[in-house]
Structure 1
Amino acid sequence: MSPRRRWGAALSALAVSAATFVVATLLTTATPAQAAGTGVGYLHTNGNKLVDSTGATVRLTGINWFGMETDNRTFHGLWSNQTWKSQIDHMAQLGYNTIRVPYSGDALKSGATATGINDYVNPDLVGNSPLQILDKVIAYAGQKGMRILLDRHRPSAAGQTPLWYTAAVSEASMIADWQMLAQRYAGNSTVIGGDLFNEPHAEGTDPSGTGACWGCGDTARDWRLAAQRIGNAILSVNSNWLIVVEGVSCPSGGSPNVWDSVPDDPMTCDWWGGNLAGAAQYPVQLNTANRLVYSAHDYGISVYDRQPWFKDASFPENLPAVWDHFWGYLYKNNTAPVLVGEFGSTLANPLDVQWLTKLMSYMGTGVNGISFTYWAWNPNSGDTGGIVSDDWVTVNTQKQNIVGPYLIAPVGSGATSSPTSSASTSPSSSTSPSASTSPTGGSGTGSCSVTYKVDSSWPQGFNATVTVRNTGTATVNNWVATLTLPSGVSLVNGWNATVTASGQTLTAAAPTWAPNLAAGASVSFNFQANGPSSPTPSGYKLNGVACSV
């Protein structure tokens, strides 16, 4: 996905330096990810599952944070009023346990400069190279119990290309970049591997084409063969990494003739990077066992409305069969793990709500579901927007309410573990923390008011938003809101604050990125609960002071 515009889908062809090889100091000090979040130590595969160094099943439920693949050569949003650490805190608190980091070869060059950084907010990044900033993000994410997946998004910052190399950026330089990164982070299990190349796709209107193919046997275009070469080169210097291989768009490397009077088979081509149908006959074969993860991308109608399955009369019930055909069969047949590396939408089209809801349900819940990284954290993704808005802090609750119930939070994030079944069924209850772990109130008291809204509900539970307004004349510092849940209602998950429960008392403590509530200001937090949505909670308080409803 381009950060500014979708560069086209598989059926839209008509609408359309080598880095210096530096062996850096090994970064081995990051806190390893912890059990029950993203596992312990390095990950490897076992059938269709990811397992950690103890053999426990792990599921990645993450998010994309792009920018390092662009002319800025570092994460976008560093220009905002939010610190880089607070953004990672926010991702973890919302429940995302993995960050997929797109980059291009330009960001890795000797002398590369990171731009678009608010030096006042992020003084610790002043003078840092793109790689040094990446080092810091990895180290801090590891402390949060998160994982990092690196993604070769483009050969250079110039833009996405059908093939993994260009006249100016060779496959050899790409391999050199990957080997440098694999050695740089060897011994640091926060970095779990590499997504070899983003969205290889077809090119031209001739079905034979000149773009990336799968199984065609042309070493210059066959992405499956290239993935084997690149993956094995990485594993030769770091055998612990996962090798993540995306699909293509059309197996032939050429787009179908969409204007022909006799249309092509609608199940021939998929989204860029989304078509893994050929992996059944032509699987990726690596020299190191249990390291291969297949990855697909999938998008909604607002990104490209001409995918044929969107026109089917049975939409959205037809979608699982589409996903089965292109990539889901690899998971269902226990062939290999599947990571849905990109999926997203503005949700401006109401049908996209159905698409996203169906996709989340299809990927499943709990540790045995399909792994994913949502596109994107960034609000400046032109075709999808982000989980956060333009201020890089306000959460898009419509998106988060759909994705949130499926997240498995990293240990130490401050978020409650997500449910183990989908919102269309009965989410399982979480163990409530003891009263001794509940946060204490900060300073500043006065008067307050509360607005409570049920965002969505199902027979066994609901999602709700609580908005607290400081109606006093002084700032409430380190705010803590409490409320009493009705009998028979239990907390499952919460976001936009540190949400915990002891008995029927739900406590929401200020997140690190918004600790204070100014006079006249409002703050909202969300929670998911098991039980009936009526009657509603009562006994609202802000730092111990009762609020009007």
Structure 2
Amino acid sequence: MAAVAATALIAVTLNAGTASAGTGTGYLHTSGNKIVDSTGATVRLTGLNWFGMETDNHTFHGLWAGRPATWTQQLDHMAQLGFNTIRVPYTGDSLRAGAAATSINTDTNPDLVGLSPLQILDKIVNYAGGKGMRIILDRHRPTAAGQTALWYSGSATEASEIADWQMLASRYANNPTVVGADLFNEPHADGTEPNGVGSCWGCGDTAKDWRLAAERIGNAILQTNSNWLIFVEGVSCDGNGGSPNVYDNVPDDPMACGWWGGNLSKAGTYPVRLNVANRLVYSAHDYGISVYDRQPWFKDPNFPNNLPDVWDHFWGYLYKQNIAPVLVGEFGSTLANPLDTQWMTKLMAYMGSGVNGMSFTYWSWNPDSGDTGGIVSDDWNTVNQAKMNILGPYLIPPTGGGGPTGGPTSQPPNSSQPPTSSQPPTSSPPPPSGACTATYTVTNQWPGSPGGFQGSVTVKAGTSAISRWTVKWTYANGQTITQLWSGTLSTSGSAVTVTNLAYNGSVPANGTTTFGFTGTWSGTNAVPTLTCTA
């Protein structure tokens, strides 16, 4: 939302494995209005923003939190809720040699002690990749001092921005967890630049035309790493004869200016031209009334039914006309204003559901966003259920995004009732050599017709390692699984079978792995008897 010395070009191979399911396999590219993986399968990125690396802390906010919100537990929690992508805002200042990450709770995150901001980013990328998640890097600010209307500012020149991007593109060149570059956050007009215009689109002025700059920066990145997606945001006012939205006596065209980064109305006429085909994703930002209530479409008597036409005008046409994929890179609200619930519900429906909808990254995970608050509250653990009730049905969980590791628990996306006390797990004898046991736990449960619940199963190997596992049970009381992660689910009536995925089939002797799920229940939500075979 609201000249840097690059570190040495170091090729880092962290988790070079590939994601799967909702986030696809291998590197991503585009086909028409879709993002597809290395096999050509359609991918939909349904994620969130975790900010902090663009601030004076130079690393992710919330690392100051205690248990149950360590850095790994926070990533576990994101995946458990169903988010498959993290957009990571950063500033060039955080990439400098000697940059120091601050405000880290060293008691709960001892493995981050002494690490640079980039080394912490490496750990986040590696761990997220292991959960099947994807990472988008976002050049959020030229410096930690704050946002600017243009993509460069003072010593943070365009050349230094390109150098930073090329360093990152090289660093993660062998790690498909990092899918690409959001080139610059929210270029906009602020009324203080000559003629009242900061960044424009298609105006032809190389000092202001963000479209031309995006081509220069994007092509430089692709020279270093041709596998990356290039995410290009819009501007606020197009600068092509529309009003610059300054305070004067001339009425503004209500559709000439939109949200910072949200105006891609000229991208159809003046497209971004990249030297590598099938790498361009346009990215728009959109916010609700509680962030800024003066957008003219909020005053329309047909609100919120007028909103799809607004989105069509500014960016939705790119997707609907099969020009390019669209990622809504930021949208969010405290939902303090009831009208924002209508706005956000309408926006989610507009972006669509399933793998064929538009991609998005919600703003934000962080509770310390003054405009919007977060998915989690100030303890970095308790979920804002009103937000998840709207977002949850549109999330495509990552494969490998299982429940938290001794960490946060929350109500699943569609719950609107407080959880009752958890049911105890079944008891299991120690597994024999070469075998496995499975322990079923109900972590949250809420009433309704039907009711809902959230659970997990822990698979434990015996005194010998196992290379694959299968867990089976039968529900006897009307339970049904609606979503499962970290395993492959098959059902036949009330019979449930879950098998391992490629990444979690191997379990060392006496070791464990966990998969999680949400479901509905009627009657009683009794714990079933499980069998585990290896």
TM range (shorter): 0.7 to 0.9
Shift of the alpha carbon at 1:211?
Answer: 0.4
Shift of the alpha carbon at 1:464?
Answer: 4.6
Shift of the alpha carbon at 1:412?
Answer: 1.6
Secondary structure of 1:539's match? coil
Q: Which among 352, 364, 374 is matched to residue 352 of structure 2?
A: 364
Aligned to 1:14: none
Aligned to 2:190: 203
Contact 1:162 1:200 in 2 (8 A): yes
User: 1:8-33: per-residue Cα shift (whole Å, max 9, x none)?
Assistant: xxxxxxxxx31224111322543211
Q: Judging changes above 3 Å, is the alpha-carbon distance between structure 1 residues 450 and 60 closer, same or farther for their aligned structure 2 residues?
A: closer
The CA distance in 2 between the partners of 1:499 and 1:452, in whole Å, is 25
Aligned to 2:446: 452
Q: Judging changes above 3 Å, is the alpha-carbon distance between structure 1 residues 84 and 466 closer, same or farther for their aligned structure 2 residues?
A: closer
User: 1:29-72: per-residue Cα shift (whole Å, max 9, x none)?
Assistant: 432112x2211110011111111111111111111110000000
Aligned to 1:287: 275
Aligned to 1:477: none
Aligned residues: 461
Contact 2:34 2:324 in 1 (8 A): yes
Aligned to 2:439: 440
Answer yes or no: is 1:48 the counterpart of 2:33. Answer: yes
Shift of the alpha carbon at 1:328?
Answer: 0.4
Q: Which among 478, 482, 485 is matched to residue 492 of structure 1?
A: 482
Aligned to 2:522: 537
Contact 1:68 1:130 in 2 (8 A): yes
Contact 2:134 2:178 in 1 (8 A): yes
Contact 1:494 1:526 in 2 (8 A): yes
Answer yes or no: is 1:325 the counterpart of 2:324. Answer: no
Contact 2:45 2:85 in 1 (8 A): yes
The CA distance in 1 between the partners of 2:301 and 2:233, in whole Å, is 29
Q: Which among 106, 111, 114 is matched to residue 93 of structure 2?
A: 106
Shift of the alpha carbon at 1:101?
Answer: 0.4
Q: Judging changes above 3 Å, is the alpha-carbon distance between structure 1 residues 218 and 123 closer, same or farther for their aligned structure 2 residues?
A: same
Q: Which among 227, 233, 256 is matched to residue 268 of structure 1?
A: 256
The AA in structure 2 aligned to 1:389 is S
Q: TM-score, normalised by structure 1?
A: 0.77
Contact 1:206 1:255 in 2 (8 A): no
Secondary structure of 2:195's match? coil
Q: Judging changes above 3 Å, is the alpha-carbon distance between structure 1 residues 485 and 372 closer, same or farther for their aligned structure 2 residues?
A: farther
- Select between 215-224 and 260-269 the one with higher mean Cα deviation: 260-269
Answer yes or no: is 1:145 the counterpart of 2:132. Answer: yes
The CA distance in 1 between the partners of 2:484 and 2:124, in whole Å, is 24
Q: How does 1:170-319 map to 2 (within 5 A)?
A: 170-204=157-191, 208-252=195-239, 256-257=244-245, 260=248, 263-319=251-307
Answer yes or no: is 1:25 the counterpart of 2:24. Answer: no
The CA distance in 2 between the partners of 1:256 and 1:86, in whole Å, is 45
The AA in structure 2 aligned to 1:100 is R
Q: Judging changes above 3 Å, is the alpha-carbon distance between structure 1 residues 95 and 222 closer, same or farther for their aligned structure 2 residues?
A: same
Q: Judging changes above 3 Å, is the alpha-carbon distance between structure 1 residues 463 and 437 closer, same or farther for their aligned structure 2 residues?
A: farther
Q: Which among 127, 145, 150 is matched to residue 114 of structure 2?
A: 127
Q: Which among 80, 102, 119 is matched to residue 115 of structure 1?
A: 102
Secondary structure of 1:278's match? coil
The CA distance in 2 between the partners of 1:405 and 1:483, in whole Å, is 26
Contact 1:483 1:539 in 2 (8 A): no
Aligned to 2:407: none
Shift of the alpha carbon at 1:264?
Answer: 1.4
Q: TM-score, normalised by structure 2?
A: 0.79
Aligned to 1:514: none
Secondary structure of 2:390's match? helix
Aligned to 1:392: 380
Aligned to 2:42: 57
Contact 1:228 1:284 in 2 (8 A): yes
The CA distance in 2 between the partners of 1:176 and 1:207, in whole Å, is 28
Contact 1:30 1:140 in 2 (8 A): no
User: 1:444-491: per-residue Cα shift (whole Å, max 9, x none)?
Assistant: xxxx9997345xx9xxxx885789xxxxxxxxxxxxxx997975x743
Answer yes or no: is 1:78 the counterpart of 2:66. Answer: no
The CA distance in 2 between the partners of 1:501 and 1:78, in whole Å, is 38
Aligned to 2:418: none
The CA distance in 2 between the partners of 1:186 and 1:500, in whole Å, is 33
User: 1:401-437: per-residue Cα shift (whole Å, max 9, x none)?
Assistant: 110111111112137xxxxxx99xxxxxxxxxxxx99
User: 1:170-190: per-residue Cα shift (whole Å, max 9, x none)?
Assistant: 110000000000001111111
The CA distance in 2 between the partners of 1:465 and 1:528, in whole Å, is 5
The CA distance in 2 between the partners of 1:332 and 1:400, in whole Å, is 27
Shift of the alpha carbon at 1:207?
Answer: 9.3
Q: Judging changes above 3 Å, is the alpha-carbon distance between structure 1 residues 235 and 312 closer, same or farther for their aligned structure 2 residues?
A: same
| Structure 2: gaps of 5 or more residues | 404-412, 415-434, 456-472, 498-515, 530-534
